[in-house]
Structure 1
Amino acid sequence: MSETDYTKIFEGNFIIVQLAMDRLHSAGIQAILKDESESGRLAGFGSSIQGYQELFVNNDELDQARPIISAVKEELESRDMEG
């Protein structure tokens, strides 16, 4: 993955990132998931942040992806305020 072709658009725990990724995929955007803790575990190393993941999208889809991610963040914030 070239840094010039992809931009990190979202990060968080597994469940929240999966929600964001599902929304992006529903819009036809193929996000790339990066999970450092899983990569470290598979290589035999530990990680202090278990379940932390990052989503990247191709720069060509960035403008389409931003409003979707903003909507996910707003939905999560409104749930936090209710609970």
Structure 2
Amino acid sequence: MSRVVNVWATTDVIKETCAKHAFRISAVEALVSGGARVVMLDPRDADAFRILMQDKLIEGTVTRSASHMARQWAPSLHRK
């Protein structure tokens, strides 16, 4: 089960929906291709969120900002 959901919605709408239903969010990221990428703390919350937002789900590949890569460790820093 994936904790990631890509939706055609603003971050405000996403946060309001999650607060209303007590879904715990790990991260919300605006997508370059439009919409937002939501990462939930619990996969069950993500599944319930998908049902609520079923008419706004983004299918297929999305384009993320290059800035998300800046938060990643360089391959040479990964533990072996």
TM-score by length of 1: 0.43
- TM-score, scaled relative to structure 2: 0.44
Between the two structures, name the one with larger relative contact order (CA 8 Å, sep ≥ 6): 1
More helix by share: 1
